[in-house]
Amino acid sequence: MTRITRIFFATLIVGLSMDAAAEINPKLICEKEVASKPLLATGMLEDAEVNPLLIAWAGGAHPEWALNAAAYVIELGPKLCEEASLPAGLRALCEKESGKLNSARMRFVTLSIGLLPPFTIEKTMEGKSPSEVFALASPEIGCKPPETPPPPAVVDKTERGSGLGALSFRVRGKADDLYIDRNRQPQGADAFSPVEKATLSLTQDDGKGKRTRVVSGVVGVAIPVGDRPLVPLKGWSGRMELVPYWGIRSNITKAEKSLPKVDKNEREVGIAFEGTAWSKSMGYWWSIRPQELWDVSKDSRLFTTSLMWKPLLPQRINAPINPGGDVQYQVLLDVRFNHGNYTDRGLLKPEESRDYERLGGQVGFSMSGGGENYPWTWTTKETWFYALSGPYRSIGQFSSVFSYTFDKAKLVGIDLSYTTGRDGITGENEKLWRAALGFRY
């Protein structure tokens, strides 16, 4: 949990800082692809809405910083309020502005680790303090304008109608993937490529008179409920949807003159409240999904609530690292929480049917290539949960799927998959290889 939590908060803090810092206007700071250090430092404070009285005081109280008092304010951040020579009135103002001073400091952090385009610093200066980076004698801060204008914030391949025309159907391998709209995604994202397909496989053994049928998938209908983000923030856009769905996971073998052998026979019904939000430099997906899952073979019912948050940093996380390449790669990452309550334990043993709360997430990678003629995708993921309550102190499931699709939209294909470990919802232990015909939409 510690590793996933650290990644989650680092992504959130740096991403939001990148978005805010993108408001700094390079045209007012740069000349001949070189940034003015005093103007850049001042721009960081102004963009964080820090009161200019603090900058003016710093320049007067510390003559050695007179040429770049803003850098001194960024250097200290909230510790500026602890200066002994700070007048009482300004001290009260400083304490009130401590959050804004922290925000300005985070803007500098994105510069110091090389994540504040179009501003660039030399490798030797990455991770250095504001006093070192903004010193007039230190290497110049570059300011190279983008070669092409920024793309639109969202890619929309379809025009939504009204009434029933606004609905969209979704077919997926798991309810976890229902939040992804294949036609509307934040710019730079390709969330649909790693999505698992609904699968069907049939095995006929005429010699033994046996037939095995394996079906797995969910079907849902996306109903738009708003073209705005769940949390309204300046400079952010988004969408929200409700997706009622029904799913099946079944593995049944029928033989002549004997009862069917049932390895799995589950149904699920639920409704996902989900959406996405995006800004100029990042985005995220989220999902709140209550559902009822019943195991027909064991006569049990499990009510679950699943929460998911998935960040988007173009060309870094949950987006192709090399967009346009013959083979595209992306790092997968999300954070999850599951709550489960058994409303009917049926034939399950008491130790298998305890209520639970689990916190964790998913990490992995996905590769895709083949162009339009031979499109393929290979996705490998590890899903891990720490039990806040209930059975199993920690559970994890590893899965790897290679998919060859028959159409350029990557909707229909053959999946070769391997799964091992415990399911994050049911806790059921699985270890299986499978080849199946798959479909998603």
pLDDT band at 262 (very low <50, low <70, confident <90, very high): confident
* Per-residue pLDDT tens digits for 43-97: 888 888 898 888 888 888 888 887 888 888 998 888 889 888 888 888 899 999 8
Q: What is the mean pLDDT of the chain?
A: 83
% of the chain at pLDDT higher than 70: 88
CA distance 33 to 146: 11
pLDDT greater at residue 114 or residue 298:
298
**pLDDT (0 to 100) of residue 207:** 67
pTM, two decimal places: 0.65
Distance CA 406, CA 372 (A): 9
- pLDDT per residue over 192-217, tens digit each? 989 999 999 887 766 667 788 889 99
Alpha-carbon span 340 to 388, nearest angstrom: 12
pLDDT at 130 over 60: yes
pLDDT in tens, 328-381: 899 999 999 999 999 999 888 888 889 999 999 999 999 998 888 889 999 999
> pLDDT higher for 124 or 364?
364
Q: Tell me how far CA of residue 3 lies from CA of 16, 359, 372, 386, in angstroms.
A: 20, 12, 38, 12
pLDDT top residue among 38 and 210: 38
Find the helix packing angle between 52-61 and 88-96, rounded to 10°.
130
CATH dotted code for 166-439:
2.40.128
CATH 2.40.128 residue window(s) in the chain: 166-439
Query: Given pLDDT bands bounded at 50, 70 and 90, which one contains residue 292?
Result: very high
